[in-house]
Structure 1
Amino acid sequence: MFSAGQKEMKEMDDYTINRLGLPGVVLMENAGVRVVEEIMRTTAKMISSKSHTNIVVLVGGGNNGGDGFVIGRRLVDAGFPSHVWLLADKDRLKGDAKTHYDVYMNRGLPVYSLHDHSLDDLQQQLTQADIIVDAILGTGVRGAVREPIAEIISMVNQFSGEKPIIAVDIPSGVNSDTGKVENIAIQASKTVTFVCPKNGFFLQDGPRYVGEWKVCDISVPTTIGNQLNTKLPEIITEQKVNASLPKRPPHGHKGTFGHALVIGGSRHFVGAPMYTAKAAFHTGAGLVTIAIPDSIYPMIAAQNPELLLLPLPDEAGHLIPEAVDTLIPQLPKTGTIAIGPGMSQFSSGQMWLEALFSKLDTQTLVIDADAISFTRHRLQDIQDYKGDIILTPHPGEMARLMDTTVAEVEANRLDVAKTFAQKYGIYVLLKGHRPIIATPSGTLYINPHGHDALGKGGSGDILTGLITAFLAQGVSPLDAMISASYLHARSAEEKAKKLSHFGVTPMDVIDGVKVLLNRITS
């Protein structure tokens, strides 16, 4: 499954209409039918329990509004009298939308127009409605929503969480490319979209507004993207994860499943490297060595009998450049190294990283946390490195790497991750509510999962450990990132159902990953 922006969707629609010969009015009819089917499916219990169901369909002046007229007509055919409100001047309707308006009117079906009725009348119908359908603006939104539509959206949102609000293709007010909501947007309980989920579902404000989403087939072939040479971001699914996970031969032993090295920790951040190493060990790495400052060695050793420990020289609780000499005998034993969890900022951090790079060969590196900040002035080392490198920045770290602002990173998450990965020939996992994965070739992946249950210190360290574990077991950097990102987010979601969104801890996430792995691989 891929996601797309407005430009890519227009190209696919145009190809279907002009090259394949399937008229736009047919695609619009298909879209409306799919929405009605989803309304019936998702509200079946409510509909069956009521003798009369009021459905209000809000229709704009563009193609999204054309979908709305099909929905209104098809609802009538299904035995559900609908109240269709035209929120634009009927003279603005054109093309396929005008055709479906004409079909609707030729049927003699009622339509309420803002030219003939007041907002108070609309408010009364919204209050009486059991289901509200948003077919107002669609994917063409750019900038702030103007009046009176902004006020109407505010009226609809009064019922968010109280009654089903179904958005057609995308909630009105959400930018389909960036997910940005300039002033207001429909707070949908479900979004029924066509062909592909839209990029805006996963970026900036989008996840807060789309609710549950469902992709429906309207006869636009999803393979068109390949024919148009369009590189669309791929959505990570459980099936994709299953194909990306390491294969574990029944006759395997600890040497079969790799030796991972975790380097990190400091006086004030003892738990971070421990979480990373535990995550790596509990998700399949055969051996895990944790290299930490000597001053925190007793605390780590007492709590982690399953790990191999390597104390390193430190000063005031921070590693010193000379600590790299102690690491040298360990480096040939491992092909995967996680660097940075809990390392914290210290004055010789860049020197330490430079010293480490001078001793590395082609090990795969996962660079996280404060080690990312140390790379800011050593990006040439990153670019010249012979092995694979994965960077896992949050938006603040990404902004520092690119000498820009967090707002700029968040406004262009897909482009930022892609550009940085291509420029330096590395893999990037840009953290956030919906993580983005970018490869050196410019391929993009979007993880559609995750929520506030991961909003605790240590969650990112678990993600680093998962990536490290899968790398140690022999999969590619991309497969390791896909599996780790998905399992990390889905584990938190599942754990939150039992423990609440408040109570999920990093160790709970590790436990949840093990349960998911058992289910996915069974």
Structure 2
Amino acid sequence: MLIAGQKEMQQMDQYTMEKLGLPGVVLMENAGAKVVEEILADSPCDNPRVIVLAGGGNNGGDGFVIARRLWDLGMEPLLCLLVNPDRIKGDAKVHLNVYTKRGLPIFYLQENTLEELRNELNQADIIIDAILGTGVNRPVQEPLSQVISMVNEYERKKLLISVDIPSGVSSDNGKVNGIAVKATKTITFVFPKKGFFLHDGPKYIGEWKAVDISVPPTIAIELELGLAMPKLITESLVKGSVPLRPKHGHKGTFGHALVVGGSRSFVGAPIFTARAALHSGAGLVTLAIPESIYPMAAAQNPESLFLPLSEEDGHFSEKAIDEMAPLLHQFDCVAIGPGMSRFPRGEEWVKSFVTSLIHQPIVVDADALYLLRNDLDLVRQYKGNVLFTPHPGEMARLMNLTVKEVEEDRIKIAKTFAKDHNVYLLLKGHRTIIATPDGDVYINPYGHDALGKGGSGDVLTGMIASFLAQGASPVHSLIAASYIHARAGEEKAKTLSSYGVMPLDIIDGIRDQLNNGSYRL
């Protein structure tokens, strides 16, 4: 499924109306009808009291259709028009005229007080937000801002359904400039909007559902919009990304991953990475760690193979690279960084290590990202597949930006960095973004605060390495790992709480997720 911005949806609507000949009033009718279906499906009672808050644009037009169709079903909704009716134009005006010609009741805000509107909201079971829609690009003005403030008083108390997007949220970047509706559910049309997954958007959209209104999704391809539009990571996409396991396979079939990391102060990180790789299906995992932490690591993770290396002051020494070099041909992929920490001559060490590889796929995470930040030309020229997995702070250091600047436009930042440096990038955050060297962008709609704990990222690195070792492409490895990692955390939180999910719990959840999928030949 693609993810749209305002401009893409405008072009698709225009094409449907002008080239396919389906009038805008019909699209508006279809949109309202679909929202009514969702209202009935989600209704908290048999005969709910519904209030429809309508603004002056096409979103308000959808509201007029919703109210009329609810009356047709024998319900008695209250349509509240929040703007002067003289402002209603175009297709929305057609539907307002149909509504008024039938003599159906309207609450005009300009003829009543906000307190009277509050009384109506108090009596409602369901509040429909058809106020502003996708065209918001400036702060919400009074009295609409006051209305939205009142609506938000009923958050978690009543069913708040937003039409297309919560009023006040930008459909392009998710920013809320002042105030926006905090929806229980958002019914959007054709495609989810980029703003659902960026900035403030996830805090406001609630549950969301994209519905068909007779704008064919294939138009995005016909208009060559799909090449630039982000793609949503869905379960079906993940099932096509997880490497299939032949029943006759053995440990050699499923690859050998090398994890390079650890230091005196950070013993657990590489262990989480190795355990996650094994629990995600890798046939063999070797942990290359400083020799002093080998006894502790081996005791905690006996399933792994180990390569204890020479060290200096608790970190890898220069000699360690010479010790690894003759063995590197054994590995199908490499993950470097978990627990490595920063150390004197660390930049030179990581540069020498990458140079010594024989072009296996390499996952660069944690402090390895920091230690490589000044050698990105080396990464760009690497003939293998390089995967970076930074959180926003690490991304900021890689690009000499602030975290705020990174968060300002996560999609553009990820896409630009991946193309400029010829890497596959997974930018962590509340909604993970994956970008490829070819310019493709994917967004993971899952994951929440259960993953907000040290070690969670190390687990993700192990999963990515595991799928690479099993033969998945870089982009498929990132898609599958990010989705399964997020879903594992969410499911574990249902029994352990978001407070209590630990890295080992996520690893355990990985097995549950893979057990629910169809990943066998």
2:161 is the alignment partner of 1:163: no
Determine helix, strand or coil for the equivalent of 1:192.
Answer: strand
Determine helix, strand or coil for the equivalent of 1:84.
Answer: strand
Letter of the 1:382 partner, please give it: V
Determine helix, strand or coil for the equivalent of 1:498.
Answer: helix
2:442 is the alignment partner of 1:445: yes
- Deviations along 1:115-150, whole A, 9 cap, x unmatched? 100000011111111100000011011132222111
Q: Distance in 1 between matches of 2:372 and 2:217?
A: 40
2:45 is the alignment partner of 1:47: yes
Q: Distance in 2 between matches of 1:285 and 1:391?
A: 20
Contact 2:279 2:510 in 1 (8 A): no
Partner of 2:330: 333
Determine helix, strand or coil for the equivalent of 1:229.
Answer: coil
- Deviations along 1:236-293, whole A, 9 cap, x unmatched? 1111111111111111111111000000111111111100000001111000001111
Contact 2:168 2:176 in 1 (8 A): yes
Letter of the 1:363 partner, please give it: Q
Determine helix, strand or coil for the equivalent of 2:499.
Answer: coil
Map 1:423-502 → 2, pairs under 5 A = 423-502=420-499
Q: Distance in 1 between matches of 2:472 and 2:41?
A: 40
Letter of the 1:368 partner, please give it: D
Any unmatched runs of 5+ in structure 1? none
2:140 is the alignment partner of 1:140: no
1:506 to 490, 503, 506: 503
Q: Distance in 2 between matches of 1:146 and 1:346?
A: 54
2:82 is the alignment partner of 1:75: no
Determine helix, strand or coil for the equivalent of 2:240.
Answer: helix
314-323 vs 289-298, which moves further: 314-323
Letter of the 1:294 partner, please give it: E
Q: Give aligned-pair identity as a percent.
A: 59
Q: Distance in 1 between matches of 2:370 and 2:241?
A: 29
Partner of 1:14: 14
Partner of 2:180: 185
2:401 is the alignment partner of 1:391: no
2:291 is the alignment partner of 1:294: yes
Map 1:22-421 → 2, pairs under 5 A = 22-43=22-43, 46-48=44-46, 52-230=47-225, 231=227, 232-421=229-418
Per-residue deviation, 1:53: 2.3
Q: Distance in 1 between matches of 2:48 and 2:40?
A: 11
Letter of the 1:11 partner, please give it: Q
Per-residue deviation, 1:162: 0.8
Q: Distance in 2 between matches of 1:209 and 1:322?
A: 53
Letter of the 1:86 partner, please give it: L
Q: Distance in 2 between matches of 1:321 and 1:185?
A: 55
Determine helix, strand or coil for the equivalent of 1:353.
Answer: helix
Q: Distance in 2 between matches of 1:418 and 1:179?
A: 18
Determine helix, strand or coil for the equivalent of 2:453.
Answer: coil
- Deviations along 1:461-484, whole A, 9 cap, x unmatched? 111011000000001001111100
Letter of the 2:39 partner, please give it: I
- Deviations along 1:68-122, whole A, 9 cap, x unmatched? 1001101111121111111112111111111111111111111111110000001
Determine helix, strand or coil for the equivalent of 1:330.
Answer: helix
Q: Distance in 2 between matches of 1:115 and 1:6?
A: 30
184-193 vs 86-95, which moves further: 86-95
Per-residue deviation, 1:317: 1.3
- Deviations along 1:191-233, whole A, 9 cap, x unmatched? 0000000000011111111000011000000011111111221
- Deviations along 1:386-419, whole A, 9 cap, x unmatched? 1000000111111111111111111111111111
Q: Distance in 2 between matches of 1:508 and 1:237?
A: 23
Q: Distance in 2 between matches of 1:223 and 1:7?
A: 16
- Deviations along 1:10-53, whole A, 9 cap, x unmatched? 0110110111110010000000000010010012xx222xxx52
CA RMSD of the aligned region, Å? 1.0
Q: Distance in 1 between matches of 2:74 and 2:156?
A: 26
Q: Distance in 1 between matches of 2:193 and 2:84?
A: 28
Determine helix, strand or coil for the equivalent of 1:377.
Answer: coil
Determine helix, strand or coil for the equivalent of 2:517.
Answer: helix
Contact 2:351 2:372 in 1 (8 A): no
Q: Distance in 2 between matches of 1:103 and 1:402?
A: 55
TM-score (norm 1): 0.98
Determine helix, strand or coil for the equivalent of 2:347.
Answer: helix
Q: Distance in 1 between matches of 2:73 and 2:314?
A: 70
Any unmatched runs of 5+ in structure 2? none
- Deviations along 1:166-192, whole A, 9 cap, x unmatched? 000000111101011121111100000
Q: Distance in 2 between matches of 1:207 and 1:373?
A: 29
Letter of the 2:494 partner, please give it: K
Per-residue deviation, 1:330: 2.2
Determine helix, strand or coil for the equivalent of 1:328.
Answer: helix
Per-residue deviation, 1:510: 1.1
Q: Distance in 1 between matches of 2:388 and 2:232?
A: 20
Change (3 A) 1:311 1:63: same
Letter of the 1:477 partner, please give it: P
Letter of the 2:59 partner, please give it: N
